[in-house]
Amino acid sequence: MNMSEAKKVLVRNVRRGAKLLDGLCPDWYKLININILDLSNARNCIVGQLGLGYCLNHTDFNNGFALPYREYYSFPESHRMLGKLNDRGWNYLTNLWIRQILKRRRLA
């Protein structure tokens, strides 16, 4: 897969992940601190930050993060994706999530 194709997959998966969160935890975007958001860091990624909130108590939400589905929704399991993304790739993925968050904040 070339870089252009990979970016398209990431864009699609981030949109898919944001829609999942919209259905399971409608205020998820308010709970994310975009100043520390870092998809390569398990504590500061989307799942890591929401893990401190009420969202992860939702059974369907937990099931959605089973390992086979993490990449499908662009909630990467960091150590599994380290070989697939370089620093630029992680930054790109983080920025895609920031765009989804800011879009929802503007519409709220």
In contact, 46 and 78? CB cutoff 8 Å: no
Res. 98: pLDDT tops 90: yes
Which residue type does 102 have?
L
CA separation for the pair 84, 34 (Å, rounded): 23
* Listed ranges 65-69, 83-87, 100-104; the one with the highest mean pLDDT: 100-104
CA separation for the pair 48, 80 (Å, rounded): 16
Q: Helices 87-107 and 3-24 sit at what angle, rounded to 10 degrees?
A: 40
Between 53 and 84, the more confident residue is 84
Query: Residue 78: helix, strand or coil by DSSP?
Result: helix
Query: pTM for the whole thing?
Result: 0.78
Read off the pLDDT of residues 32-82 as tens digits, 9 standing for 90 and up.
Answer: 999 999 988 878 888 888 874 445 455 555 555 554 556 666 666 544 454
Annotated domain spans of the chain = 11-107
